[in-house]
Structure 1
Amino acid sequence: MNRLGPQFTFQKQSHRHPGLDGARGLAVLAMVLGHTLDALLSPEARQQPWVQHYWAFRGITAPLFLLVSGWAVVAALGTRPTAARDVLGKRVRRSLLLLFLGYLLHWPGLAAVRAMGWTDTMLTRVLTFDALQCIGLALLSGSVLLALVPARWGRPLVLLTLAVGIPLASAAAWRFGVGLPGPVQQLLGSAEGSRFPFFPWAGFFFAGAFAAYVLNLIKPGWPQGLALLAVGFGLVGLTRLVEADWAPTSAWMVAYRVAQGLLVLGAVNLAPTRVSRILAPFGRMSLWIYVLHLPVVYGWADIAGLAHRVGPRLGLPAAVGVGVGLLLVCALVARVGRWLLDQARPWRAGSTTLEASLSGSRVSQRI
């Protein structure tokens, strides 16, 4: 038995496989280190050659996060025709949680809100559209559509239309948003400071969802990993046929980053299982690590974060050390919080104590 062979699959299983979580864990690692280095690295350290290379690679972090999020949504549905309708309520609640946490992270503080008054500027500041809001809205809209359309032909058609249509419509959506209320401009991308507007960033989410639906037909393991690499390299080749366009509304940019994301997923697929198992715990706690580390790095409301308390004056080893330490502390806090939540709600799925109790009760009844 080869314990180090690739066991990665995107198909629905009774237990979460560390492969998909490993890819998300890699994105979490790059995200926390990227934010910490951005806040703390001195100008001299930023000029080092390999830091410049890392900064270029860092551009794949957010697209990979969105890509894997979309993949996980479709992979969890499996092949059951009614799965999308059965889990719609759960998906809606998850979407609302993401939207709430996303807006909570950008709360400027009561004093700032009072100072700005009930103005469009205040609403734009409070309702800043960021990565969590993008994932939450994409999950909400995608879940509703998947529940409404037929499973056999409707799912791939809807997912492909959204994956291609959202990036292509981004420039028009930005122009349409000009002059609309600030929060709407934040969502569409027309407003200043909207870093992850729905157009075009939701395209990554639906590209991952469509890829999961198509590649779910391929046997897990090496065939699926090689297919990911083939599709990724194929997309890279297609993007080379046209001139590069790094504009924020560029469909070319989305296609190129999707290709890079698929290559990363293929590499994780083919890597030894123990590699993904190291990253998987961070992937399973990705939401809470995201929520915990941002206030520490950038502050929240009127509480200053590391960016203001320390500032960009650390060397590379010190900044990396802070980033790794922050990642581990956030993961530990998230792990403890999850354990406390499980103790408070033992009826949650996966509670071994409750399952054992119910199983014993059923056995005694049969006897």
Structure 2
Amino acid sequence: MNATPEGKTKQRFLALDLLRFLAVLLMVQGHVFREVLTQDVRGETWFRWHEYIHGFTAPIFLFASGLAFGLTTFRGWDKHLSWGETLRKRFERYFLLLVIAYWVQLPQLSLGSVLASSDARMARILKVDALHNIGITLLVAELLVITLRKPRRYTWVLGALAVLAVAIAPALAQLNLENVPRALAGFIQRSGPDSHFRSYFPLAPFSAFLLSGIVTAYFLFDERTRSFKLKAGPWLLGLGVLTYFAGEWLTQAIDLETVYGPHNYWVVGPFFFFVRIGVVWAVLGALATLTQLLPRLLENPVGRTVQVLGQETLVIYVSHLFLLYGSPLNKALARQYKYSLSVAESTLCFLAVLGATGLLAWVWHQAKTRQPRAFDLARWSMTALLVFLFFWRS
């Protein structure tokens, strides 16, 4: 980092911060509207476009997580090859991520309540969501760094895994998983209305967005400047646009149901993956170009806040789940206002949730950066307390 002029370092990483901020902004807004907006307006044209646009939110969020992982990994590659502080923190992060992923789905902070759960409730507890996908995929990606040891070889393997995840997703979606434990079934396919498990983000195809982010980081990373390559934005924007139209053209030109049989195009369709990853690349390319043209774009209080929130998207993501869907410690906001608010009221609700979670993310960031040791102590102490209460209240 020291070899890179400060302005260039900020400029190149701003695009990633903006991408992550955009993803979490769309995610919070989409979740709030889907839970509280009155049913009366859901048939209107604008809401159909709303749902289409928000179909790109999860790909952006997953891709950005992979891109951030890739940039930090390639920048400090040698530190990931043997056990040390870097690997310890990485494995600690993924362990906590998976703990949080399941914790937010607990009905109560009690082991007894879990053991006494009905089949339907247990399916909700073991539901596979975005955090589960991120935790497992990045854990595997970190283990492959240790195994493969060479950045180029590593990137080729991850690229192949991404292609495999996209290619086999329609076939996996048709498997009968009735005899597969629900804790594993959700990682294999997305659940249907009659499934004994629940899953929104199976590894295939959604891990491919994370892996694509890591692969993209390899091609964008400049070893000399320790940051994004200069002028990468326009190239990435062009690649994204071409990939998007290629996906749309392939969708019209080739009927994949003759290969895979009937499948949900919008979830596991390989050509729709091209459409979505094309949009993600184009958005990142546009943001990278914007920050290149306007290097001082975020050098103001609002801009710095956006950058901080972009760096703490996980905090916003988890805390908005607690507020909206409830947790063992609080009631669900969605239950209180389920399908009952107008567009204006839903917008105010979204701004309130974003404001509360954004404030928490800001405080979290300040504590983490200014008092890292105290922050780690407090974080682990709170984790230990929650684990104790979970077993003690059983």
Q: Any stretches of 5+ residues in structure 1 without a counterpart?
A: 10-16, 350-367
* Alpha-carbon distance in structure 2 between the residues aligned to 1:75 and 1:342: 20
* Alpha-carbon distance in structure 2 between the residues aligned to 1:168 and 1:56: 23
Question: Residue 123 of structure 1: CA displacement?
Answer: 4.3
> Given the superposition, is the C-alpha separation of residues 81 and 109 from structure 1 closer, same or farther in structure 2, using an over 3 Å criterion?
closer
* Alpha-carbon distance in structure 2 between the residues aligned to 1:346 and 1:114: 35
1:348-359 matches, within 5 Å, as none
Question: Residue 328 of structure 1: CA displacement?
Answer: 1.4
* Alpha-carbon distance in structure 2 between the residues aligned to 1:71 and 1:120: 37
Q: Any stretches of 5+ residues in structure 2 without a counterpart?
A: 1-6, 253-263, 377-394
Please state whether the residue corresponding to 1:77 is helix, strand or coil.
helix
* Alpha-carbon distance in structure 1 between the residues aligned to 2:323 and 2:19: 24
Instruction: Report the equivalent of 2:247.
Output: 239
Q: Of 205, 212, 221, which aligns to 2:210?
A: 205
Instruction: Report the equivalent of 2:278.
Output: 259
2:69 is aligned with 1:73: yes
**RMSD after superposition:** 3.1
Please state whether the residue corresponding to 1:226 is helix, strand or coil.
helix
* Alpha-carbon distance in structure 2 between the residues aligned to 1:172 and 1:98: 29
Q: Which moved more, 1:339-348 or 1:275-284?
A: 339-348
Q: Of 26, 32, 41, which aligns to 1:45?
A: 41
Q: How many residues matched? A: 340
> Given the superposition, is the C-alpha separation of residues 43 and 85 from structure 1 closer, same or farther in structure 2, using an over 3 Å criterion?
same
1:34-71 deviation line (CA, Å, top 9, x unaligned): 11111111123334433332221111111000001111
Instruction: Report the equivalent of 1:164.
Output: 163
* Alpha-carbon distance in structure 1 between the residues aligned to 2:120 and 2:347: 36
2:199 is aligned with 1:194: yes
* Alpha-carbon distance in structure 1 between the residues aligned to 2:288 and 2:369: 31
Please state whether the residue corresponding to 1:106 is helix, strand or coil.
coil
Q: State the TM-score, normalized to the length of structure 1.
A: 0.82
* Alpha-carbon distance in structure 2 between the residues aligned to 1:74 and 1:214: 10
Question: Residue 238 of structure 1: CA displacement?
Answer: 2.0
2:319 is aligned with 1:292: yes
Q: Which moved more, 1:56-65 or 1:101-110?
A: 101-110
* Alpha-carbon distance in structure 2 between the residues aligned to 1:348 and 1:110: 23
1:267-297 deviation line (CA, Å, top 9, x unaligned): 1112234266553222111111111111211
1:116-131 matches, within 5 Å, as 117=116, 123-131=122-130
> Given the superposition, is the C-alpha separation of residues 26 and 118 from structure 1 closer, same or farther in structure 2, using an over 3 Å criterion?
closer
* Alpha-carbon distance in structure 1 between the residues aligned to 2:220 and 2:372: 36
* Alpha-carbon distance in structure 1 between the residues aligned to 2:220 and 2:121: 45
* Alpha-carbon distance in structure 1 between the residues aligned to 2:8 and 2:329: 50
> Given the superposition, is the C-alpha separation of residues 285 and 291 from structure 1 closer, same or farther in structure 2, using an over 3 Å criterion?
same
Instruction: Report the equivalent of 2:288.
Output: 269
Q: Which moved more, 1:224-233 or 1:120-129?
A: 120-129
Amino acid at match of 1:256: V
Amino acid at match of 1:283: G
2:206 is aligned with 1:179: no
Instruction: Report the equivalent of 1:357.
Output: none
1:125-144 deviation line (CA, Å, top 9, x unaligned): 32211100100101100011
Please state whether the residue corresponding to 2:341 is helix, strand or coil.
coil
2:58 is aligned with 1:58: no
Q: Of 236, 244, 269, which aligns to 1:250?
A: 269
Amino acid at match of 1:93: E
* Alpha-carbon distance in structure 1 between the residues aligned to 2:9 and 2:51: 30
Task: Note if contact 1:40-1:319 (Cα within 8 Å) is conserved in structure 2.
Answer: yes
Question: Residue 99 of structure 1: CA displacement?
Answer: 0.6
> Given the superposition, is the C-alpha separation of residues 325 and 147 from structure 1 closer, same or farther in structure 2, using an over 3 Å criterion?
same
1:217-236 deviation line (CA, Å, top 9, x unaligned): 59947620011112111211
> Given the superposition, is the C-alpha separation of residues 285 and 152 from structure 1 closer, same or farther in structure 2, using an over 3 Å criterion?
closer
Instruction: Report the equivalent of 2:350.
Output: 323
Q: Of 20, 24, 28, which aligns to 2:20?
A: 24
Instruction: Report the equivalent of 1:335.
Output: 362
> Given the superposition, is the C-alpha separation of residues 113 and 35 from structure 1 closer, same or farther in structure 2, using an over 3 Å criterion?
farther
> Given the superposition, is the C-alpha separation of residues 119 and 50 from structure 1 closer, same or farther in structure 2, using an over 3 Å criterion?
closer
Amino acid at match of 1:184: L
> Given the superposition, is the C-alpha separation of residues 81 and 283 from structure 1 closer, same or farther in structure 2, using an over 3 Å criterion?
closer
> Given the superposition, is the C-alpha separation of residues 88 and 154 from structure 1 closer, same or farther in structure 2, using an over 3 Å criterion?
farther
* Alpha-carbon distance in structure 1 between the residues aligned to 2:329 and 2:77: 49
Instruction: Report the equivalent of 1:283.
Output: 310
Task: Note if contact 1:129-1:195 (Cα within 8 Å) is conserved in structure 2.
Answer: yes
1:253-272 deviation line (CA, Å, top 9, x unaligned): 22221111111101111223
> Given the superposition, is the C-alpha separation of residues 53 and 222 from structure 1 closer, same or farther in structure 2, using an over 3 Å criterion?
farther
Task: Note if contact 2:19-2:64 (Cα within 8 Å) is conserved in structure 1.
Answer: yes
* Alpha-carbon distance in structure 1 between the residues aligned to 2:306 and 2:51: 21
> Given the superposition, is the C-alpha separation of residues 235 and 124 from structure 1 closer, same or farther in structure 2, using an over 3 Å criterion?
same
Instruction: Report the equivalent of 2:390.
Output: none
> Given the superposition, is the C-alpha separation of residues 38 and 178 from structure 1 closer, same or farther in structure 2, using an over 3 Å criterion?
same
